Amino acid sequence: MTDSSDIAGRVAIVTGGSRGLGRAIALRLAGAGAAVAVNYRSQGGAAEDVVAQIRSGGGKAVAIGADVSEGDQVRGLVDRVRAELGPIGVLINNAGIGPVVDLDELTEEVFDETITVNLKSAFLVTQAVLADMRAARWGRIVNMSSAAARGPGLVGPHYNASKAGLEGLTRGYASRLASEGITVNAVAPGPIDTDMAEPLKRGGIADRIPMGRMGSADEVAEAVLAMAGNAFITGQCLAINGGTIYT
């Protein structure tokens, strides 16, 4: 059971929080009583819209632009969140890209960018917020993986590798932080109906899902909140994929 009261009053960062899954997660955390920093790289207007929606419901939120694959920008992001909202207790590593590239056209540049944005960013932001969580002896970190981490996937091997690495990162941090009251988990969505999934929708992906439809961003956000609200789950990956893959 999600204990959202444990989230109330905490400060949360959602990377890539301006749209899609990040937007839904930010709104769900705010609904549970967290003050939310909505991080974005280029979609400033969309991030401000999320903040406005949270504030209109009586919540507290700020939009902060930063490329979380760059260490200096991550440090600036975390410093601003501390100054404007307070010590960080919840981190959702959601920022990511999924360029659909045929195997014969996959380049070193695309591979490196995907690993950097999807995996390195989670490492950088996690490292930057640990001081606050350790001082409080309380923290909740949820990394956004994918069904592609354990299956063939539809985007490409660069994406598979980035998400599989993210699950390894999750287990590595979880094993080392459990005794300090900090949980680290992952959520692995299958095909979800967001803008990022447009190429998959055009390919008829819904017909290959046992439930006959793609998932919604709100359903994923619900799973993230469940992970963040449980103090005894750590090092785990929750699959949410409509029965496409069983783990």
Q: Any idea which residues carry the catalytic annotation?
A: 159
State both tokens at 58.
Answer: 């009586």
CB 150 within 8 A of CB 171: no
Q: How far is CA 70 from CA 41, 62, 74, 184, 239, in A?
A: 11, 20, 6, 22, 29
Alpha helices in 57-195 (DSSP H): 71-84, 108-115, 121-136, 157-177
Give the integer Cα–Cα distance in Å for 10 and 4: 10
Contacts 24+ apart (CB under 8 A), 168-176: 169/119, 169/122, 169/123, 169/126, 169/143, 170/143, 170/145, 170/235, 170/237, 171/235, 173/126, 173/141, 174/234, 174/235, 174/236, 175/235
Structure tokens at 139: 């923290």
67, 117 contact by CB (below 8 A): no
Q: Measure the CA–CA gap between 39 and 67, rounded to whole angstroms.
A: 9
